[in-house]
Each structure stands twice: as structure tokens, then as C-alpha cells.
A and B are shown apart, each in its own frame.
Chain A
Amino acid sequence: MPMPQWRIAAGCAAAAVLTITGCGSLDERRTAASEAALAFEEALRTGDGAAACEALAPGTRDELVKSSGALCPRAVLEEELSPAGTVRRVDVHGRQARVRLAGDTLFLAGFDDGWKVVAAGCEPRPEQPYDCTVKGG
């Protein structure tokens, strides 16, 4: 039986909306990104360097190790990032996110196993990218 025209139209409209907005609920992605940022901050607060490194994106981890000359769990704790506080704002676009906390701003990227911290300890600069203490190369 041929598909009714309204169903074809509805399918096309849904595909167009998905194309514009990206797959998945935006709220779900915002929540997942802020949870990943808070998990990173909690690992720093409790001095769990291994967990903090696990929350970093591979490129950021590599750069941290390269620039400090120490192993990642020690290097990430030595950065002495500001205490995070509560989540103030989360922006998610595609597979990139910015999470603004009371005491810090983090940038994250989506990976198959969840959101990872790309940059932390970030301070805004007018008309320029954020100045970040920890970031990829």
C-alpha cells in the first residue's frame, strides 16, 4: 500500500528539523555536558588526579603531559584550578559545549563514551578566544 502523502510530508519535515537542530534532545545534551564538567571539578576537589584525567579529552591530556613533563594525574592537580561552584549556564552546539560555573568556565566535546573536558580554567577576553589554563594543543 502506498504511503499516504501526509506521512511522507511529516517524514520530510522531521528530517529537516533534525538536520537543523542536530540529533538528540538539547536538554539531554546540556545535562550530560554539565554532569561531565561537574565530575571533572569534583575529581579536582577531592584530589583524584586519575579521575580528573579520565574526564579530559585525549588532546588536552596529551598537551597537559607535554607541557608539564609530569604524569597526567599529578600534572592536572598542579594546575590549581579555581573551585568550580554551581552551574550558571550551559551552551551546547552540535558536539561542542561551554559550561559556565560560578568559579570556572570549561569547554567540552562529545565523544562516543560521553562528554570530555577540552579546556578548563578559562577566562574570557574581549574579541578573543578564552584564555584557558588547561587546553589542547
Chain B
Amino acid sequence: MSNRRGFLRDNSLGLFFLAAFLLALAGQALAGRTEYNNQLEAEQLEPVGFWTYVSSSDFGVDVMENWQSEYLQFFLYIFLTVWLVQRGSPESKSPGREGRESDEEQYAGEHAAADSPRWASAGGTRQWVFSRSLGLVMGTIFVLSWLAQSLAGAAAHNERRLQQLQAPLSWGQYLTSADFWSRTLQNWQSELLAIASMAVLSVYLRQRGSPESKPIGSAHASTGVEG
């Protein structure tokens, strides 16, 4: 029992967000199906059931356009914070430390500790991959979900075009369409604004107890200090 409680406490952040994600996804499916069916009924077409909607391109593109932008946000944040800094932000390294840093600073290669991951000191390809694994995985998920958005988006857009007695577009034509770029950029702009806000507001504002914030008494100029 205490082991289970320990597991829940040790993983409460990940578990909370995973559960909240599933609830939000279910809510999106319910609301999305209602909206989709409202449009069908307005055209005197037959409404669809829950599972038909969940497996539709209409639901797929709505999910994927948000996923790709979230993974792009984290990929950019992970990658760009290697090279760019924000003086005073707990999200940034101190000015002067830009770059990939030495093996000594990174506990890599011969500077790896006894409890370091094995690939931190493996050398060669394994160490190269491991030292970029977070960005590689986030970037790969971004590319795949953006690709999925384009495929599902083309199908959903064509379904609407056929409903409006218009010829469907090829995938290539869809990639240059206003629908694809409107869906893409409306998500990107909000994610980029959120990063900029976090980087700058965390210089001057505090959230007591949060590792995303500096301690409340830290100077505004202190950089890379987490609470």
C-alpha cells in the first residue's frame, strides 16, 4: 500500500497531466462530435456516432494540429535555450554559458559519475544520440504529428469541399492551402507567445515553491536559479 502511495507521489506531476489529457481529449471528442453533427444536420445529412467521429479525419486534424504545435514549442525551447539566454529568467542559462558546454559541465564522457546513464559515457554514436535525445524525440514527434495533421487535414478539408460540391484537392495542393497554414500558424503563434511570456515574466514575477520560478527573494537579475 505504502509502495503504491509512494509511486503516486513520486509521479504525481506526470500522472496528473496524463489523466487531465485523457479527460480533455474525451471532452474534445464529445464537443467536436456535437459540432460536426450540427453541421451535418443543417445539410440534412445523417449524424455520426461517437466512434465514427473519433476515427474521422475531422477529429484527427483537430487533435494533430494541437499536438504538433505543443511538440514544436518544447523542441524549440529545448534546442534554442542551448544557444539563447534571457537574463534574469529561471528558464535560461546565465549569459556567457551559451553553447553545448564541456563534458565536465555535462558529466559526460570521462566526467560521468557512477550513477550517470550508461550512454553518457559510452562515446561514439550512442553518446552523440543520448546527448541530443530529448530534442530528437520532441522534434521527431513534432514532424510526425505535423505530417499527420497534413494528411488528416487534407481528408477533412476535402470532405467539406465535396459537401459544398467542390472538387477535392491533392495532398500537395492542400499543403499550400489557406486551411493548412491557418490551422498551423494559429497554433504556432499562441505557443510562441506562451514561451516569450514565460521567459520574460519569470524574470520579474514569482510563484512560491514552483521550480519554474525563482525563489521569491531572488534578485531580478539572477539567471538560471530555480525555486
- A19, A59, A91, A98: the one contacting B43 at CB < 8 Å is A59
Asked if B58 CB lies within 8 Å of chain A CBs, one says yes
CB-contacts of B37-95 with A (<8 A): 43-46, 48, 52, 54-60, 63-64
CB-contacts of B129-165 with A (<8 A): 148, 151-152, 155-156, 158-159, 161-165
**How many residues of chain A are within 8 Å of chain B by beta carbon?**
34
CB–CB B46/A22 < 8 A: no
Tell whether A19 pairs with B63 under 8 Å between CB atoms, given A59-B44, A98-B167: yes
> What are the residues of chain B within 8 A of A109 when measuring CB–CB?
45-46, 163
CB–CB B151/A20 < 8 A: yes
Q: B10-52 interface mask toward A, CB cutoff 8 Å, 1 = contact, 0 = none? A: 0000000000000000000000000000000001111010001
> What are the residues of chain A within 8 A of B168 when measuring CB–CB?
91, 93, 98
- A58, A96, A111, A132: the one contacting B159 at CB < 8 Å is A96
- A20, A57, A58, A119: the one contacting B155 at CB < 8 Å is A20
CB–CB B56/A94 < 8 A: yes
> What are the residues of chain B within 8 A of A95 when measuring CB–CB?
45-46, 48, 159
Q: How far is the CA of A132 from the CA of B167 in the complex (A)?
A: 13
> What are the residues of chain A within 8 A of B54 when measuring CB–CB?
19
Q: How far is the CA of A133 from the CA of B147 in the complex (A)?
A: 38
Q: How far is the CA of A96 from the CA of B166 in the complex (A)?
A: 11
CB–CB A97/B162 < 8 A: yes
CB-contacts of A41-71 with B (<8 A): 57-59, 62
CB-contacts of A65-120 with B (<8 A): 91, 93-98, 107, 109-112, 118-119
B interface, how many residues as a size bin?
Answer: 20 to 34
- B55, B162, B166: the one contacting A22 at CB < 8 Å is B55
CB-contacts of A117-137 with B (<8 A): 118-119, 122, 124, 128-130, 132, 135-137
- A18, A111, A129: the one contacting B165 at CB < 8 Å is A129
- B43, B64, B159, B165: the one contacting A94 at CB < 8 Å is B159
> What are the residues of chain B within 8 A of A132 when measuring CB–CB?
165
Q: How far is the CA of A117 from the CA of B162 in the complex (A)?
A: 12
- B43, B44, B56, B166: the one contacting A129 at CB < 8 Å is B166
Given known contacts A93-B168, A97-B162, what 14 new A-B pairs fall within 8 Å (CB)?
Answer: A16-B148, A22-B155, A62-B44, A91-B162, A91-B168, A93-B57, A93-B155, A94-B56, A96-B159, A107-B165, A111-B45, A129-B164, A130-B167, A132-B165
Interface residues of A (CB under 8 A from B): 16, 18-23, 57-59, 62, 91, 93-98, 107, 109-112, 118-119, 122, 124, 128-130, 132, 135-137
A-B contact pairs, 23 of them (CB 8 A): A19-B56, A19-B60, A20-B57, A21-B151, A23-B55, A62-B44, A93-B57, A93-B159, A93-B162, A93-B168, A94-B56, A94-B57, A94-B156, A94-B159, A95-B45, A95-B159, A97-B162, A98-B167, A111-B45, A129-B164, A135-B165, A136-B44, A137-B44
Instruction: Give 4 nearest A-B pairs by CB, closest first.
Output: A59-B44, A96-B162, A94-B159, A93-B158
